[in-house]
Chains A and B, each alone.
Chain A
Amino acid sequence: MNLAIRDIRYHRGRFILTSIGLGLLLGVVISMGGIYRGLIADALAILHANKADIWVVQQNTNGPFAESSRIPEDIKYRMRAVPGVAEASPLSFQTIQIERHGKPFRFFLIGYELSGFGGPPEIVAGRGIRQKHYEMVAARAMGMQIGEKIHLGLHDYTIVGLTGKIVSSSGDPVAYVSLADAQNIQFKKDNDAIRNDRERIGANLANIQTLSPVQGKYLQKNISAITESTHTVNTIVVRLAPGANLQEVQDRISRWNHFKPISDAEQTAILAKGMIEKARMQLGLFRVILLVISAVIISLIIYTSTLDKIKVIATLKLIGSQNRVIIGMILQQSLLMGFIAYFIGYGLILLTYEKFPRRIVLEPFDMQILFVIVMAICIISSFVGIRKALKVEPGEALGG
């Protein structure tokens, strides 16, 4: 006869309630692990979507995600000429926050060359971008409909297609436009601003005594052309030809000294380790604290339920029960509670994780480890109760 089960059966209300409470706590522990895995998955989402071998960024930076990086768009031609490079495509990134339906609406805008790569990884509805201007593909998470228009910079952009779940490293949903549009949105000023800028340059040049008015006009034209140039990108993604040596190609690009070639593995390390290290430590700390709290709670529950059973334990000893009968009763209850709580927590997160604002990724390995930890906590927590139980004298069963 299993005493643990009998006791639980008799006190089922209490047992179920404590298991649910503990389950909620473990649910939080599970979700925190899931959020951490989600952070990594989010941080690497664009990286994985692009499948680039090398990210060419501004010299001395860890761009384009961890630090800002700006390089001229025309570098793409030089990259394509590097031996071993199969494809090179410029990308522009910007975070956009506008008002929409009276609420702040935030997303991450990627501009890509329509003939190159780095565009939407998949189209789940509608179509991809076909025209060079005013078309946009949005991640489903943005909640926009096909055909809807959105005003950015100086123009309206029409949603022509939807892509699946893709987010920026900070978790914002991603939208795609053509590179030219992205540059316009980022750099194009309205006509008044341009006129102002030109006048300021003109005024500055007029102050230079040695310049003749003709020279001044000529210079102003050139300077304006440069400052109004929008042909800047954040990175150029490179794919290698089959059989090309990554290290050799990286070395060649580094030799120019103006750009930094970051391999996919290095970029992964920058994103996964550098950018979310603090979040990882934070979440890790919370998980440890919550597990310690769970351990304390389980210990207390087991201890008080042992105190409730002092008389039962004394009676069992009096009628000659072996210690294993008594230890088994306490330990099995503790394990059963942990077991049920774990699956309540797991089930809870499985049912709700899609509704979390941030992505939750449940790795089977993480779940197995957590299960082992919970079982270990249950065993350790029952020690206090067991110790108490072993000290009970059979004589305590006598009398009122």
Chain B
Amino acid sequence: MDKNMYAIEVERLTKIYGKGETAVTAIADATLQVKPGELVAILGPSGSGKTTLLTCIGLINEPTHGTVVIDGTTVADEGWKSGIDLKRMRREKLGFIFQAHNLIPFLTAQENVMIALEINNMTKNEAKSRATELLTSLNLGHRLGNYPSALSGGEAQRVAIARALANKPRVILADEPTAALDTENGKNVMALLKKLAVENHSAILVVTHDHRMVEGFDRIFQVSDGRIIDEKNSIDAG
């Protein structure tokens, strides 16, 4: 199999928090692959290890065992691989979307997108036009100069999506992106992610325990107690 066929490859990933008697195994022996252009869900009850899995893939949380390969680069193999610039990987290959939008409160919508571009060495003018273009394509052209506090939940989440997309990442990781939204806005966001997966050819991994949102995913991983217990196509999900 072509090594670059997958955007995300996780093998036998285990994450244990703490040591000794208080150790918690949040994820055990998880294996999954996601192809570019695929929209994949991780579904499971609270405390089952979804966020842990996502943060291990997102290079935020160091895996205890197992390997993580992002876009052909092995980043973790029994712990972080030495010589890997995690920050650089994060800003070049990964985009993050969270439950709470996590926009920077003192930056306008446009600046929130621009900052992701500027830390990736884009000039201010380029960043400005790309941010404007992205936000306009997400129907936020009229909100460029607004601070997050002046945006609705759905608008803020779309700005966060624009920021996650800014550097055209190979992988987008979303942790309950619709949890803070009403059904209508949640559905819009999901439709948007679906569209992006196809258009940008990005692998999109979405954590959710919101069953309203499961339609439209290419595949769904069911997590329970730290283990991936089931994998099915979305067609079966309904």
A6 to B99, CA, bound (A): 25
Q: B88 touching A320 by the CB < 8 A rule? A: yes
Q: A325 touching B119 by the CB < 8 A rule? A: yes
Residues of A within 8 A of B103 (CB): 315
* Shortest CB distance B71–A (Å): 14
Closest to A397 in B: B102
* B144 interface residue per 8 A CB criterion: no
Residues of A within 8 A of B107 (CB): 1, 3, 6
* B91 interface residue per 8 A CB criterion: yes
Q: A315 touching B104 by the CB < 8 A rule? A: yes
Given known contacts A321-B119, A397-B98, is B147 in contact with A10 (CB within 8 Å)? yes
Residues of B within 8 A of A9 (CB): 106
Given known contacts A1-B124, A320-B90, A321-B91, is B106 in contact with A6 (CB within 8 Å)? yes
Given known contacts A10-B147, A319-B96, is B60 in contact with A312 (CB within 8 Å)? no
* Shortest CB distance B169–A (Å): 10
- Interface flags for A369-400 (1: CB within 8 Å of B; 0: not) read 00000000000000000000000011101111
Q: A1 touching B118 by the CB < 8 A rule? A: yes
* B222 interface residue per 8 A CB criterion: no
A322 to B88, CA, bound (A): 8
A310-326 interface with B by 8 A CB criterion? 311-312, 315-322, 325
- Interface flags for B109-122 (1: CB within 8 Å of A; 0: not) read 00100111011100
* B38 interface residue per 8 A CB criterion: no
- Which one of B61, B102, B114, B124 has the greatest number of beta carbons of chain A within 10 Å? B102
Q: A393 touching B60 by the CB < 8 A rule? A: yes
A303 to B127, CA, bound (A): 31
* Shortest CB distance A34–B (Å): 38
- Interface flags for B73-112 (1: CB within 8 Å of A; 0: not) read 0000000000000011111101010111011111100010
* A255 interface residue per 8 A CB criterion: no
In this complex, how many residues of chain B approach chain A with their Cβ under 8 Å: the count is: 34
* B55 interface residue per 8 A CB criterion: yes
Residues of A within 8 A of B58 (CB): 318
Q: A321 touching B111 by the CB < 8 A rule? A: no
Q: B102 touching A311 by the CB < 8 A rule? A: yes
* A355 interface residue per 8 A CB criterion: no
* Shortest CB distance B58–A (Å): 8
Residues of B within 8 A of A363 (CB): none
Closest to B111 in A: A1
Which one of A10, A322, A400 contacts B119 once the chains associate, using CB atoms below 8 Å?
A: A322
Residues of A within 8 A of B119 (CB): 316, 319-322, 325
A311 to B105, CA, bound (A): 10
* A11 interface residue per 8 A CB criterion: yes
Given known contacts A10-B106, A395-B61, is B100 in contact with A400 (CB within 8 Å)? yes
Closest to A394 in B: B60
A316 to B116, CA, bound (A): 8
- Interface flags for B152-166 (1: CB within 8 Å of A; 0: not) read 000000000001000
A192 to B41, CA, bound (A): 115
Given known contacts A1-B114, A312-B104, is B99 in contact with A400 (CB within 8 Å)? yes
- Interface flags for A317-356 (1: CB within 8 Å of B; 0: not) read 1111110010000000000000000000000000000000
* A7 interface residue per 8 A CB criterion: yes
A6 to B124, CA, bound (A): 15
Residues of A within 8 A of B60 (CB): 318, 393-395, 398
- Interface flags for A285-317 (1: CB within 8 Å of B; 0: not) read 000000000000000000000000001100111
Q: B98 touching A7 by the CB < 8 A rule? A: no
Closest to B101 in A: A315
Q: B102 touching A320 by the CB < 8 A rule? A: no
* Shortest CB distance B61–A (Å): 6
Q: A312 touching B118 by the CB < 8 A rule? A: no
* B175 interface residue per 8 A CB criterion: yes
A395 to B102, CA, bound (A): 12
Given known contacts A7-B106, A394-B60, A395-B55, is B87 in contact with A317 (CB within 8 Å)? yes
Q: B55 touching A3 by the CB < 8 A rule? A: no
Which one of B55, B120, B127 contacts A320 once the chains associate, using CB atoms below 8 Å?
A: B120
* B51 interface residue per 8 A CB criterion: yes
Given known contacts A1-B124, A6-B106, is B116 in contact with A319 (CB within 8 Å)? yes
Residues of B within 8 A of A325 (CB): 119
Residues of B within 8 A of A398 (CB): 51, 55, 60, 98-99, 175
Closest to B100 in A: A400
A394 to B104, CA, bound (A): 14
Q: A320 touching B91 by the CB < 8 A rule? A: yes
* Shortest CB distance B73–A (Å): 15
* Shortest CB distance A317–B (Å): 7
Closest to B107 in A: A6
Given known contacts A1-B124, A10-B105, A10-B147, is B96 in contact with A318 (CB within 8 Å)? yes
Residues of A within 8 A of B99 (CB): 398-400
A261 to B124, CA, bound (A): 74
Residues of B within 8 A of A10 (CB): 105-106, 147
Residues of B within 8 A of A315 (CB): 102-104
Closest to A9 in B: B106
A113-155 interface with B by 8 A CB criterion? none
Residues of A within 8 A of B175 (CB): 398
**Top 7 closest pairs, chain A to chain B, by CB:** A320-B91, A10-B106, A320-B90, A7-B106, A395-B60, A320-B87, A321-B119
**Apart from A1-B114, A319-B116, A398-B55, what are 17 other A-B pairs with CB-CB below 8 Å?**
A1-B111, A11-B106, A316-B104, A316-B115, A318-B90, A318-B102, A319-B90, A319-B163, A320-B87, A320-B119, A321-B119, A393-B60, A394-B90, A395-B55, A397-B102, A398-B175, A400-B99
Chain B interface residues toward A at CB < 8 A: 51, 55, 58, 60-61, 87-92, 94, 96, 98-100, 102-107, 111, 114-116, 118-120, 124, 127, 147, 163, 175
